[in-house]
Amino acid sequence: MTCDADNNEGFSSCKFIINGQNKGVFKGFLSTDIPKDGKTRRAGYCSIRTKRARKSFKRESYLNWTPYTHLVLRVRGDGRSYLLNISTCGYFDQLWNDVYHYILYTRGGPYWQVSKIPFSKFFFTSKGRVQDIQQKVPLDSVTHFGITAADKINGPFSLEIDYIGLEFDPTHTEEFAYEMYTLPKNIAGY
């Protein structure tokens, strides 16, 4: 779990607790106030993510989600939007900030919502910026799953989590939801 205050880049705070009903609660206070340090230009994020999968002797491992087509969450939100994050392995340090995102809109109120999100809907970003050249999530090399609160609205937030799971839906045939660009040679690309 981390927030901008942990890096001296803001004044947000967050925590993850287990409530009396045995549900996880990601909550805190989001602040977009910028510290007067002359360096920081934006503030206001809180994030939580899973620990890295490991083998024996602390060797790095990967989660293989290729048999699944959807991420399924049962949550009770506060009406705010949250970013769902899937990180994959990066062979070079340039790729460490590559993350796949999907925006989860919560309804707020007393009712639970079940969100079934196809992996084909996650979009590719690097350092938080959406990339022109999109690619689908490499589901065979997932390193982390996380949730971020960063909707630029000052105030408290709370996301109650009943479960997060994976599902295989044989009727889902979409490979990737976004346009793929083929750029001319000598411009940019792979």
Domain count, the chain: 1
Degrees to nearest 5, angle at CA 94 with 126 and 86: 45
CA distance 7 to 46: 11
- Residues with Cβ < 8 Å from 183, sequence gap 6 or more? 133, 189
- CATH code, domain with 90: 2.60.120.430
Average pLDDT over residues 77-99: 83
Question: Percent of the chain scored above 70 by pLDDT?
Answer: 93
On whether residue 130 sits in a domain, the answer given is: yes
What's the predicted TM-score (pTM) here? 0.89
- Range with lowest mean pLDDT among 38-47, 146-155, 163-172: 38-47
The reply to whether 20 falls in a domain is: yes
Q: How far apart are CA 128 and CA 148, in angstroms?
A: 11
Residue 59 to residue 182: CA distance in whole angstroms: 38
For residue 188, being part of any structural domain is answered with no
Query: In the structure, what pLDDT confidence band is assigned to residue 188 with cuts at 50, 70 and 90?
Result: low
| 189 domain residue, yes or no | no
For residue 16, name the pLDDT band (cuts at 50, 70, 90): very high
Placement of tokens 């890096």 in the chain: 7
C-alpha 43: how far from chain center: 17
Q: Assess if residue 14 is contained within a domain.
A: yes
Segment 158-187, tens digit of pLDDT:
999 999 999 999 999 999 998 776 667 776
Please name the residue that has the structure tokens 């909707």.
151
76 within some domain: yes
Q: Which domain holds residue 48?
A: 2-167
* Residue 190 reports pLDDT greater than 60: no
* 7-28 mean pLDDT: 95
Domain-embedded: residue 185: no
Q: Is the pLDDT of residue 19 over 90?
A: yes
In a domain, residue 127? The reply is: yes
